Protein backbone atom coordinates (compact mmCIF):
# COMPACT_ATOMS: atom_id res chain seq x y z
CA UNK A 1 0.00 0.00 0.00
CA UNK A 2 2.81 2.42 0.86
CA UNK A 3 4.44 1.87 -2.54
CA UNK A 4 1.15 2.51 -4.34
CA UNK A 5 0.63 5.74 -2.42
CA UNK A 6 4.13 6.97 -3.27
CA UNK A 7 3.61 6.09 -6.93
CA UNK A 8 0.51 8.31 -7.03
CA UNK A 9 2.49 11.38 -5.95
CA UNK A 10 3.56 12.85 -9.28
CA UNK A 11 3.67 16.51 -8.20
CA UNK A 12 5.91 17.92 -5.47
CA UNK A 13 5.45 21.20 -3.64
CA UNK A 14 8.69 22.49 -2.14
CA UNK A 15 7.46 24.90 0.50
CA UNK A 16 8.43 27.12 3.36
CA UNK A 17 7.87 25.27 6.62
CA UNK A 18 5.64 28.15 7.74
CA UNK A 19 3.05 26.96 5.20
CA UNK A 20 3.05 23.25 6.07
CA UNK A 21 -0.23 23.06 8.05
CA UNK A 22 -2.10 25.17 5.54
CA UNK A 23 -0.87 23.24 2.50
CA UNK A 24 -1.67 19.89 4.13
CA UNK A 25 -5.17 21.16 4.99
CA UNK A 26 -5.69 22.28 1.38
CA UNK A 27 -4.34 18.97 0.07
CA UNK A 28 -6.91 17.10 2.16
CA UNK A 29 -9.75 19.45 1.27
CA UNK A 30 -9.04 19.15 -2.46
CA UNK A 31 -8.21 15.41 -2.30
CA UNK A 32 -4.86 15.94 -3.99
CA UNK A 33 -3.44 12.46 -3.45
CA UNK A 34 -1.04 12.97 -6.36
CA UNK A 35 0.66 15.91 -4.60
CA UNK A 36 3.57 15.45 -2.20
CA UNK A 37 4.91 18.12 0.13
CA UNK A 38 8.49 18.82 1.18
CA UNK A 39 9.03 21.70 3.59
CA UNK A 40 12.26 23.57 4.21
CA UNK A 41 12.90 25.01 7.69
CA UNK A 42 10.85 28.12 8.47
CA UNK A 43 13.92 29.51 10.24
CA UNK A 44 15.41 30.22 6.80
CA UNK A 45 13.43 33.45 6.92
CA UNK A 46 15.94 34.73 9.46
CA UNK A 47 18.61 34.16 6.78
CA UNK A 48 16.85 34.92 3.47
CA UNK A 49 20.13 34.82 1.56
CA UNK A 50 20.08 31.04 2.11
CA UNK A 51 16.56 30.39 0.75
CA UNK A 52 17.45 30.25 -2.96
CA UNK A 53 20.29 27.76 -2.41
CA UNK A 54 18.17 25.54 -0.18
CA UNK A 55 15.33 25.51 -2.72
CA UNK A 56 17.75 24.77 -5.57
CA UNK A 57 19.26 21.80 -3.71
CA UNK A 58 15.77 20.45 -2.95
CA UNK A 59 14.81 20.74 -6.64
CA UNK A 60 17.93 18.89 -7.81
CA UNK A 61 17.29 16.04 -5.35
CA UNK A 62 13.59 15.77 -6.20
CA UNK A 63 13.60 16.21 -9.98
CA UNK A 64 14.20 12.53 -10.88
CA UNK A 65 11.23 11.45 -8.76
CA UNK A 66 8.41 13.80 -9.85
CA UNK A 67 6.74 14.80 -13.09
CA UNK A 68 6.25 18.36 -11.86
CA UNK A 69 7.65 20.55 -9.08
CA UNK A 70 6.14 23.79 -7.78
CA UNK A 71 7.57 26.10 -5.13
CA UNK A 72 5.44 27.60 -2.35
CA UNK A 73 7.56 30.56 -1.36
CA UNK A 74 7.09 34.25 -1.88
CA UNK A 75 10.11 36.31 -2.88
CA UNK A 76 10.78 36.45 0.87
CA UNK A 77 13.66 38.92 0.87
CA UNK A 78 15.99 36.92 -1.39
CA UNK A 79 16.78 39.96 -3.54
CA UNK A 80 15.71 38.16 -6.71
CA UNK A 81 17.95 35.13 -6.08
CA UNK A 82 15.02 32.72 -5.70
CA UNK A 83 13.42 33.85 -8.95
CA UNK A 84 16.75 33.46 -10.79
CA UNK A 85 17.02 29.86 -9.57
CA UNK A 86 13.44 29.10 -10.58
CA UNK A 87 13.85 30.64 -14.04
CA UNK A 88 16.92 28.47 -14.55
CA UNK A 89 15.05 25.38 -13.35
CA UNK A 90 11.84 26.34 -15.27
CA UNK A 91 9.73 26.04 -12.13
CA UNK A 92 6.87 28.29 -11.02
CA UNK A 93 6.41 29.64 -7.52
CA UNK A 94 3.56 31.05 -5.53
CA UNK A 95 3.11 34.62 -6.73
CA UNK A 96 3.80 37.47 -4.32
CA UNK A 97 6.53 39.04 -2.22
CA UNK A 98 5.71 37.14 1.00
CA UNK A 99 3.01 35.22 2.85
CA UNK A 100 1.32 38.37 4.19
CA UNK A 101 0.60 39.42 0.61
CA UNK A 102 -0.65 36.09 -0.73
CA UNK A 103 -2.80 35.39 2.33
CA UNK A 104 -4.34 38.87 2.07
CA UNK A 105 -4.71 38.61 -1.71
CA UNK A 106 -2.11 40.43 -3.80
CA UNK A 107 -4.42 43.24 -4.90
CA UNK A 108 -5.75 43.75 -1.37
CA UNK A 109 -2.27 43.83 0.13
CA UNK A 110 -0.92 46.24 -2.48
CA UNK A 111 -3.97 48.49 -2.15
CA UNK A 112 -3.59 48.69 1.64
CA UNK A 113 0.22 49.07 1.64
CA UNK A 114 0.32 52.80 2.33
CA UNK A 115 -2.22 52.57 5.14
CA UNK A 116 -0.41 49.56 6.64
CA UNK A 117 3.02 51.16 6.77
CA UNK A 118 2.83 51.11 10.59
CA UNK A 119 1.71 47.45 10.82
CA UNK A 120 3.67 44.45 12.06
CA UNK A 121 2.01 41.31 10.68
CA UNK A 122 1.44 37.88 12.18
CA UNK A 123 0.04 34.81 10.42
CA UNK A 124 -1.30 31.70 12.17
CA UNK A 125 2.18 30.22 11.99
CA UNK A 126 3.86 33.26 13.52
CA UNK A 127 1.20 33.53 16.22
CA UNK A 128 1.80 29.88 17.09
CA UNK A 129 5.59 30.31 17.18
CA UNK A 130 5.86 33.94 18.27
CA UNK A 131 8.12 33.22 21.25
CA UNK A 132 10.71 31.29 19.25
CA UNK A 133 10.67 33.06 15.89
CA UNK A 134 10.08 36.65 16.99
CA UNK A 135 10.59 37.30 20.70
CA UNK A 136 13.58 35.05 21.33
CA UNK A 137 15.04 35.34 17.81
CA UNK A 138 15.21 39.13 18.22
CA UNK A 139 16.72 38.80 21.70
CA UNK A 140 13.79 40.51 23.42
CA UNK A 141 13.71 37.82 26.10
CA UNK A 142 17.23 38.84 27.13
CA UNK A 143 17.18 42.52 26.19
CA UNK A 144 13.62 43.88 26.38
CA UNK A 145 14.98 47.40 25.80
CA UNK A 146 15.55 46.39 22.15
CA UNK A 147 11.80 46.53 21.65
CA UNK A 148 11.98 50.30 21.12
CA UNK A 149 14.66 49.91 18.46
CA UNK A 150 12.96 47.11 16.53
CA UNK A 151 9.37 48.33 16.78
CA UNK A 152 9.57 52.12 17.08
CA UNK A 153 8.03 52.58 13.61
CA UNK A 154 5.11 50.22 14.30
CA UNK A 155 1.91 51.19 16.07
CA UNK A 156 -0.22 48.10 15.27
CA UNK A 157 0.09 44.34 15.22
CA UNK A 158 -2.17 43.01 12.46
CA UNK A 159 -3.05 39.34 12.79
CA UNK A 160 -3.86 37.81 9.40
CA UNK A 161 -5.89 34.78 10.51
CA UNK A 162 -6.03 31.73 8.26
CA UNK A 163 -8.29 29.83 10.65
CA UNK A 164 -10.90 30.37 13.35
CA UNK A 165 -8.80 29.32 16.31
CA UNK A 166 -9.45 30.96 19.67
CA UNK A 167 -6.10 29.83 21.06
CA UNK A 168 -4.21 31.44 18.19
CA UNK A 169 -6.29 34.59 18.55
CA UNK A 170 -5.31 34.74 22.23
CA UNK A 171 -1.64 34.21 21.32
CA UNK A 172 -1.78 36.99 18.72
CA UNK A 173 -3.41 39.35 21.25
CA UNK A 174 -0.72 38.41 23.76
CA UNK A 175 2.01 39.14 21.19
CA UNK A 176 0.54 42.60 20.62
CA UNK A 177 0.52 43.29 24.36
CA UNK A 178 4.15 42.16 24.73
CA UNK A 179 5.25 44.39 21.86
CA UNK A 180 3.06 47.26 23.17
CA UNK A 181 1.20 47.55 19.86
CA UNK A 182 -2.50 48.00 19.14
CA UNK A 183 -4.14 44.77 18.05
CA UNK A 184 -6.08 44.26 14.84
CA UNK A 185 -7.32 41.03 13.25
CA UNK A 186 -8.17 40.35 9.61
CA UNK A 187 -9.59 36.98 8.70
CA UNK A 188 -7.92 36.19 5.38
CA UNK A 189 -8.32 32.43 5.08
CA UNK A 190 -5.76 30.90 2.72
CA UNK A 191 -5.92 33.63 0.09
CA UNK A 192 -3.82 33.00 -3.04
CA UNK A 193 -2.34 29.86 -1.46
CA UNK A 194 -5.70 28.12 -1.89
CA UNK A 195 -5.72 28.76 -5.65
CA UNK A 196 -2.08 27.76 -5.99
CA UNK A 197 -2.56 24.37 -4.29
CA UNK A 198 -5.95 23.65 -5.88
CA UNK A 199 -4.46 24.20 -9.37
CA UNK A 200 -2.03 21.32 -8.85
The pLDDT tens digits of the residues spanning 145-175 come to 999 999 999 999 999 999 999 999 999 999 9
pLDDT for position 19:
97
Residues 6+ apart with CB under 8 A from 94: 70, 71, 72, 73, 74, 102, 192, 193, 196
pTM of the model: 0.89
Residues 6+ apart with CB under 8 A from 151: 120, 179, 180, 181
Q: Yes or no: say if 151 and 177 are a contact pair by the CB < 8 Å rule.
A: no
C-alpha dihedral (192, 100, 15, 35), degrees to nearest 10: -20
| Domains present along the chain, CATH in parentheses | 2-94 (3.40.50), 107-187 (no CATH)
d(CA 36, CA 38): 7
Q: Is 90 exceeded by the pLDDT of residue 53?
A: yes
Q: How much is the pLDDT for 7?
A: 45
Amino acid sequence: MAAAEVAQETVLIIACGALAREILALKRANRLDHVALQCLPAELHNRPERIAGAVERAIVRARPHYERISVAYGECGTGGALDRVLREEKIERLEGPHCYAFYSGLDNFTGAAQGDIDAFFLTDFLARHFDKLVYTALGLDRHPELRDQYFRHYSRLVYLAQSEDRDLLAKARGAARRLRLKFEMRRTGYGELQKFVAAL
